[in-house]
Structure 1
């Protein structure tokens, strides 16, 4: 299942990237959806190329009953973001992989932070897949709206975080 999302943030790329690499921000987003940040690491200097690894425990309350039978009340989600160093105009991108422990769902995506004047256009494109024969497509289709919503929440919260509306 394909993922596509675009939004604009009213802050420069370097500030947006810094928020995505901020443990307090990642904790806020995790707790906002009723989850918990289990661990957060950044390898490398965030002013250059770096890798962020975010491990969250998220509730399954909004999943279909059939899915909850298999995965229980919580899922452990590991998100790895491999960020490039900034381009000459400050734009950057990250290769994102998401693994869900105990669920046959994988997400691969590219997130681009594109400098536009004083702001940033955030573009995300990727795929949701499942490794289960025959049912994999249905599982990926069911997971896609949740993944898309999670990515939109992160962008919306980043804008509010940078505007000083939350902390």
Structure 2
């Protein structure tokens, strides 16, 4: 029931606040109704303001819609629009192609280098932990292992 549900929620929050001793800030507390429609304007209960949800709102960077079918389309359209605006920004800059490349390198290169360095560190950790060693030397690649095993006449597996 749309009329009793929010009132019951407010009562539950009030009882929780009384029993736990934790304060609930009524200015920051909202309850959203996603079922049915409100035929009347916003109803205010004490101590919490109850409002109807807008068509969509943002939560953790994702647009949340009343209708779940709009969830993928709405977020995908926003991502495509953002990507288009970024591409248009780079296209319309009044500088030469070499300047655009330099500017793109300044913006994108630190991210690419960070991913590359992380990849190298992870591959080095895997290199030192997963591959067999000969003596105390560096781990060998698969081709070096076969060459060494043929030369030594034995396998380290």
Q: Quick check: TM above 0.5?
A: no
Larger Rg: 2
TM range (shorter): under 0.3
More strand as a share of residues? 1
TM-score computed with the length of structure 1 as normaliser: 0.21
More helix as a share of residues? 2
Q: Identify the structure with bigger relative contact order (alpha carbons < 8 Å, sequence gap 6+).
A: 1
TM-score computed with the length of structure 2 as normaliser: 0.22
